[in-house]
Structure 1
């Protein structure tokens, strides 16, 4: 795990996370965040979805539909997100989920977003599950569990926000000080 994390970090990756309206095949992003390996925010936005926010999702991330009333649409920010990524590799905890959510969000706005297919994406969850072992019925590991096993402090109050990135796990593995980045 340490070698793979080091290899990924040597590529100057970005770390992407989303918050969503839910988990199903109509769920969309309500928030997207992108940081670099030092934790500097490269891109961050909330999004107004075309579907309602599910009660379970709202309970996890605390984002209400009212909070998104003035938020931009996917079509307003997709080009900015693509530009912010700029061809750099992206590390995502549960990459399949977040990429699916981004694609569903784009589709809801009739945006083919072909560039999402072209991104180089690495999954931090798969890396952590390979190192720490699976801890749930899905055959994966949660970010909270991976962080805990890596010896990082984890708070459910700050754990589900787009500025809490798996970069902290890589910093730990790489031997750097561990920091959990939270919304200011």
Structure 2
């Protein structure tokens, strides 16, 4: 089975990772950093906003089960793509809404996904399509954070359940179990 990779930045990677980890066809979700100038950044460096990196997720998926277009539609439905460099109380370029295509086909799909999402939003979509760049895995304690510690984190409890409710409402047929 051939897999593909989607790299998406939609604010806090804990929150984005929680949306994608239980989708049919998704084999793994990794939190990390992309799009900045510093090699091997730490969480603290990225949070400072000085590295230029975005908190992002890298989704490994089976395109025969879930398409890149579906992943993008879920992306746009579960975060706010109309706020520049911001998701809720998280402010800074590290929380930008961005897509990092891995091919020309993905870049074309990203443009089409933005157009589809724009039809559902009164405000302009500010999601950027950025060139693929070196990927830096986030520290181990960030991986699968919602499953391990999210229910003990007030921030996660305020942000993630509404995202998961949107996922269930709009894409319930795409969720495992």
**So what's the TM-score if we normalise by structure 2?**
0.30
Structure of larger gyration radius = 1
Greater RCO, CA 8 A, separation 6+: 2
